[in-house]
Structure 1
Amino acid sequence: MSADTESGDGSHNTAKVVGIIVGGAALILLALAICFLLWKKRKFPCMLERETVHRGSLERSQDLLMTEVVFSSNREQSSERKIDDLELPLFDFNTLTMATKNFSEENKLGQGGFGVVYKGRLMEGQEIAVKRLSKNSGQGVEEFKNEVKLIVKLQHRNLVRLLGCSIQMDEKMLVYEYLENRSLDGILFDKAKSSSLDWPRRFSIICGIARGLLYLHHDSRFKIIHRDLKASNILLDKEMNPKISDFGMARIFSTNQTEANTMRVVGTYGYMSPEYAMDGIFSVKSDVFSFGVLVLEIITGKKNRGFYYANAELNLLGHAWKQWNEGNALELIDSSIDNSYSSSEVLRCVQVGLLCVQERAEDRPTMSSVVLMLSSETASMPQPKNPGFCLGRNPMETDSSSSKQDETFTVNQVTVTMLNAR
C-alpha cells in the first residue's frame, strides 16, 4: 500500500506540473497573440493614415504645379488651343541653389527683362542654365507659364531644350540645357571674338535659325509666333549650332489664323516690324522681319540700333538697302571675316535679309521660301523693295526713352514716336 500510494502521488504530481507548464505556455501564447493583434491594429491604421496623408500631399503638389504651368487661353490670344497636362521634371529649390553656388555673380550668364540666367552644375556633373524669374516683374508669372507651356512641347535641333522647372513660393525657375558658347550677340558684336565667326559658320548659323523658325511657324504641333527673335536669344552650342531660346513672349496661333492684334506691344527695339510696333499686329511675317534684321547683323557684325551712331541718316537696314541698290552689297560683310567667303552666298544672304525686312508684311517671304532660297543657288529670288524703319533718327530728337534702353532687354511697352518709319 505504501508503494502504491507513493507511486500514485508521484504520477499525480507529475501530471500537475505538466498541466501547470502547458497552461502557463498557453497563457503566454495567448498574451503574445493579444499583444500582436493590438500592435497590428495600431500599426496598420497609422500606416494607412500616413499613406493617405502622403497621397493627399502629393496630389496637392501636383495640382499646384498644374495650376501654375497649365492655364487656359489668355485674353490676348482667344484662339489658343488647350494644351495637355505637362510631364516635366521638378527641381528642388535647394538643389538649384547649390548648383549655382547660391546664384552667385560669377555664375551669372546674362540678364533679360524678366530675370537672370545662371550657370549651374548638378551633383552628377551635368551642366545646366537656370533662368530665375524676377520677383518684381509684373509679367514674371505669365512669362513663366507661357515659356514652360510652349517649349516643353517643342523638339528641334535648333531650339533650346527645357530640362525642367522649379516652383517654390514666389520663386519660379526654368532649367535649360547649358550651351557652351552662350548667346550669339556675345560673340558677334565683340571685336575680340567676332573673328572666330568665319563666313561658313555665319552662313550655317543663318540657315540653322531659319530652320528653327520654319519649325515654329509650319512644322511643329502648334503654329508659334516667337515675337522676340534677336541676337541675344540665339544660343550657340560647342559646335556653334544655333538654338532659338526665350519663348516668354511667344503666342500660339490656330491652324487657319494668320495674324493677331495686341494692345500691349512687347519686343526689342530694332527687331520689331512696322505693323507690330505701330499697330500691335503680329503674325509669322513679324517674325520674318526680325529674322531679316538678324541676317543683316550676322553679315555685317553690326547692331541695327547701334548703327545710328555711325551714320546719322540711315540705320543698318537703310545702309544695307543703299549698298544693295548701288551694287556694293559685298562691302557690307564684316571686316573681321577673311577673304575665304563665297560671294554668291553673301549676296544671296543680303538679298534674303532685305526681302525679309520689307516694309509691307505681304511682300515678305514665308520661312519655307527663305529656307529654300538659302539652300539653293538656283532658286528664283525677287528683287527687294524698300525696308521698314530704314531711316535714322531725326537730328533734333533728344536721347530719351528708347535710346537709353539696352537693346538686349525686352521692353514691355512701345511709344510709336520713338520709331521712325518710312
Structure 2
Amino acid sequence: MFDNLSDRLEGAFKSLTGDNKITEINVATSLKEIRRALVGADVSYKIAKEFTEKVKEKALGTDNVLKSVKPGQLMVKIVQDELAELMGGQAAGINVVGKPGVVLIAGLQGSGKTTFTGKLALHLKEKRKLKVLVTACDVYRPAAIDQLTVLSEQVGAGIYKEVENKNPVEIALNAIAHAQDNKYDVVIVDTAGRLSVDEKMMQEISDISEAISPNETLFVVDSMTGQDAVNTAKVFNDRLDFDGVVLTKLDGDTRGGAALSVKYTVNKPIKFISTGEKLNQMDVFHPDRMAQRILGMGDIISFVERAQDQFDEEEAKRLEKKMKKNKFDFNDFLGQLNQLRKMGDIKSLLNMIPGMKKMMKDVEIDNSAFAKVEAIIQSMTPKERANPELMSMSRKKRIARGCGQSMDDVNRFIKQFDQMRKMMHKMSNNPAMGQMMGKQRRR
C-alpha cells in the first residue's frame, strides 16, 4: 500500500537537499515531482494541483529564521500536514447511540460489505462492549445470508434473517423490532450490492434508509478500484447522503488514490479501513497516522494499540516469572507466536515501526515462515516442549523426521531459541527492565 507513492515523494524531497533555505526555484522543482507522484497514485489532476498549491503557499510563507530546520525537513512536515488534512484531518467516530442504534451498510457487489459487517460487529462488541445484532438484507446473492451467519457466529454477534422473505425493507424493520425485544444495543444492516450503479439498486437502498432512519450510514468501497471508487462514492452520496466511507482491500496492490481523494470529493470522512480478510484486520482510520505511513515515518501508535489489544496481564506476569527463572519454554514461545499472528500481517506490522519500511524494502517476509517453526515445536513431545534443555541429537533427528524439516533447520531454530531465552532471562533480571514492565502492566 502506497509504496510507489512513498518512493516518489521521497525523491521529490531530495531536490531540496543541500539548500540553505526554501525559495521559489527549489520549491517549484519539488512540487512538480509531488504533483506527478499524486497523479501516479490515481489522484485526479485537479486535486493534485490544489494540494501542491497549498503546500507552496505554506512553504513560501514560512519564516526562514528556523535555522535548525533544513528545507527538506520543513517540506516533509508541510506535506505531512496537508496529506492528513486532505484525508480528513482527524479520526471520525461512529454514532451507534439509540435503542437500538442502527448502522446501514451500502456499496457495490464485491466491495466487501458483508465481511465488513462482521468486522464492525466484532469491533463494536470488543471495543465498545455492545450487544450486536446483524441482519441479512441481501435477498439476491445466494450465499450472502449463509456468509453473514458464519461471520456472526465467529464474532459472537446475534443474527436476524428471513430466508423466504424477499423484501429487504420488511426484513430490516423486523430486525430492529427483534433487537428492541431482545435488548440489543446496535443493529448492523447488510444490504445488497450490484456490479454497477443502477436505478433499481439506488431506489432500494434509499427505501431501506427512509424506512429505518439509521444513526449511521457507511459506504463500503474497494480501494483497489482507485478513482472509480471515488466516482462511485460520489454517486451514492448524492442519493443517500451517507455519513462515512469504509475502504477495503488496502492490503492489496492499491496506489492509494481512493484514500487520498474520497474525502475531498464527497466531503465525508473515511471512518474505517480494512487491511485483510481476517475479522480483526480492520482499523479506525487516522488521517495523521496514514500521512506518516505514506512518508515512511511508520505508525508506532497503531503498532502499540494492536499489541495492547492482544496483551494479557496475567499471562505477562506468568511469563515474567518464568523468564526470571530461565524457564521460558517452547509452549510459551508458541503462545507468543499466536499472539503476534493475531496482530496482523508481519510485513505491515514492521512498516509501522519508524525507519523499518526502508530497511525492509527489498526483503520478502512470508507469514508461512511461522508454519515451519510451529511444525518443529509440534513434533516435540509434551515433555520436550516444557524442557528445552532435553534437546539431544537423537531427539532432534526424530523431530526433523516428524516435521519434514532438515536437521539444519531444527538445529538453527533450537540455537536461536536458546540465545533468545538467555537474553530474556538477562533482561528480566535487569531492575530497569522490571520497572518498565511493571509500568506497562499498570496501564
Larger Rg: 1 or 2?
1
Give the alignment's TM-score, normalised by structure 1: 0.28
Q: Which has the higher contact order (CA 8 A, sep 6+)?
A: 2
* Structure whose residues are more often helix by fraction: 2
Give the alignment's TM-score, normalised by structure 2: 0.27
